[in-house]
Amino acid sequence: MVTLQSSFHDLLHLFFPHVCAGCGTDVLDQDQLLCLHCLNDLPATNFFNQHDNPVEQVFYGRIKISNAAAGYFFTKDSLLQNLIVQFKYQGNKEIGLYLGKLVGHFLSNSPHYSKIDALVPLPLNPRKEKKRGYNQALELCNGITSVWNKPLLNNNVKRTVFTDTQTHKGRISRWQNMDGIFAINNPEELENKHILLVDDVVTTGATLEACGSEILKIKGTTLSIATLAYTI
Ligand SMILES: [Zn+2]
C-alpha cells in the first residue's frame, strides 16, 4: 500500500530531484550529499586512530601537540577537491556541514580524542571571511559538533592583522610573518582545557602552528589538531 507520506516524498523527488554530488545518481537518502558508493570512494586516512601519523609528524619539533589527524587525503582532480572548491569558493556551506559530520564521526569513534574539552575553529583572515561570507573552519566545526557532543568556542581566538596568503614563501619566513597574528580575547575560557583546533586542509601547518602556539601560552592548555584533509 502506498502511504500518503511516501507518495508525498515521491512527488517531492519528482519536482526537486536530490542527486549525489559525486556521480549524480538519485539513489541516496534525502539528508545525504553523497551516495554510499562515492562516500566509500573518498580516500580516508584512518589517521584519527593512529599515533605518529603523517599529520602529527608535520608538527614534530615545532609545537607540542597531543594528537593531530586529517580525515582524508587531498588529491588533485578528485571528488574531494571538487567538494572543497564548492565549499570554500562557491558559497556552498551545506557541503562544509556534511564534510564536518564525516570528521565528527572519525573523532567520536577514536579513543585518542575522547578527552577533548572544546573545539576552536582556526580564525580566517577577516578580509577573506567578509568576501566568503563565512569561516570554513567554523562550518566544519558546526558539522563536527552536530554528531559529536563537544562545546564549540568561537570568537575567542582572533586574527590580529591582515596578511595575504604567502604561498610562495618557505616555512621559516612564513612562520616569522605569522608570529603574533593570532590573539586570545578571553584566556580564562580556555584555561586548563584540552583544545581541538580545527581547519580545512593541512599542508605546511604554518597557520595551525602559529595559532596553536598562542593557545598553548594559556595556563594548563593541551592542544590537538583536526582537519578535513591532508595534502602530501
Ligand atoms: Zn555518488
The residues placing their C-beta within 5 Å of ligand 1, an ion, are 20, 22-23, 35, 38
Check whether 37 has a pLDDT greater than 60.
yes
Taking the centre of ligand 1 as the mean of its atom positions, its distance from the CA of residue 81, in whole angstroms, is 15
Alpha carbon of 215 to ligand 1 centroid (Å): 40
- Cell triple for 42: 573518498
| Cα-trace Rg, the chain | 19
And the C-alpha cell for 10?
Answer: 515521491
Q: How confident is the model at residue 111 (pLDDT cuts 50, 70, 90)?
A: very high
Q: How far is the CA of 3 from the centre of ligand 1 (A)?
A: 28
* SS3 state of residue 111: helix
Range with the poorest average pLDDT among 18-32, 77-91, 108-122, 151-165 = 151-165
Q: What pLDDT, on the 0 to 100 scale, is given for residue 163? A: 54
43 alpha carbon – ligand 1 mean position (Å) = 14
Neighbouring-strand partners of residue 44: 72
Cα separation, 60 vs 98, whole angstroms:
30
User: What is the Å distance from ligand 1's center to 103 Cα?
Assistant: 19
Distance 44 CA to ligand 1 centre (A): 16
Q: Is the pLDDT of residue 169 over 60?
A: no
Phi, psi of 43 (to 5 degrees): -80, 85
Q: Are 171 and 206 in contact (CB under 8 A)?
A: yes
Residue 120 alpha carbon to ligand 1 centre in Å: 31
Q: Where are the beta strands (DSSP E) in 163-215?
A: 182-184, 194-202
**How much distance in Å is there from the Cα of 49 to the middle of ligand 1?**
26
